[in-house]
Amino acid sequence: MIIYPAIDLRGGRVVRLTEGKFDQEKTYGHDPVAVAQDFAAAGATWLHVVDLDGAKDPAKRQTALVEQLAQGSKLKVQTGGGIREAAQITALLSAGAHRVIIGSLAAKQPERVTEWLQQFGPEQIILAPDVRLDEAGIPRVAAAGWQESTGLALDDFINRFLPAGLRHILCTDISRDGKLSGPNSALYAQLVKKFPTLHIQASGGVASLEDLRLLKTTGSAGAIVGRALYEHKFTLAEALAC
């Protein structure tokens, strides 16, 4: 299982949001490149970068900073945040990103995203459904910065893209994100079982080394770790070792 230390960018700063809410922001640093270099020094191989400014306003994309992160850390970078056009994917890949994250648009415009999977290839695109569990416990995909529900069941969302060669999924349980409340390991175990050809990344809630050990038993291909590192619940070196 790959550990993906996370950097969320807002105004050039390293921040974390709780449940994706911009009014619940905490700043953890003003030098993202230095943070990424520290991750590399600790033994990371990948870096997860979310451009929060780009997610709100495409005109404010921080592509140049993503390039600095990739070049300055030498880590493989997966990045996204409000991707709406193929040109944005091209720009990020040209800037040194290895994989581009597509979120809400995949739920709203699946035909366009299917074309991107075929155009750029399944290794360079990762779809990122953010989900809330309904009253029956069925994960349903949210959109628009988690402010609205599409009503689309997660399984149906994934099945739309399998014929196009989908390989990577990054799934966030919104109720766990930024809360250090533990990941929804049952959700990831179900996904791995239902979709054995996919590489499933778990996101949201990791607070301890035990959480990471539990996620590994689910068969998840990766785990996003953010706030737990910044608040010193454990070190990245400890996470990689466990």
pLDDT, tens only, 85-142: 999 999 999 999 999 999 989 999 999 999 999 999 999 999 999 999 888 989 999 8
When pLDDT is averaged across residues 171-195 and rounded to a whole number, the result is: 88
Helix axes 154-161, 185-194, angle to 10 degrees: 40
What percent of the chain shows pLDDT beyond 70? 95
What percent of the chain shows pLDDT beyond 90? 81
Q: What is the pLDDT of residue 197?
A: 97
Q: Which entry of 8, 51, 53, 211 is annotated as an active-site residue?
A: 8
Percent helix, strand and coil across the chain, each to the nearest 5:
40, 30, 30
Q: Which entry of 31, 53, 57, 130 is annotated as an active-site residue?
A: 130
When pLDDT is averaged across residues 6-33 and rounded to a whole number, the result is: 86
Q: Up-side HSE of residue 18: CA atoms within 13 Å toward CB?
A: 7
When pLDDT is averaged across residues 213-239 and rounded to a whole number, the result is: 97
Taking the C-alpha atoms of residue 160 and residue 4, their distance in angstroms, rounded to an integer, is: 26
Residue 146 predicted with pLDDT over 60: no
Residue 181 predicted with pLDDT over 90: no
Could you give the domains of the chain?
2-241 (3.20.20.70)
Is 155 a residue of the active site?
no
Q: What is the pLDDT of residue 22?
A: 73
Q: What is the pLDDT of residue 19?
A: 59
Is 211 a residue of the active site?
no
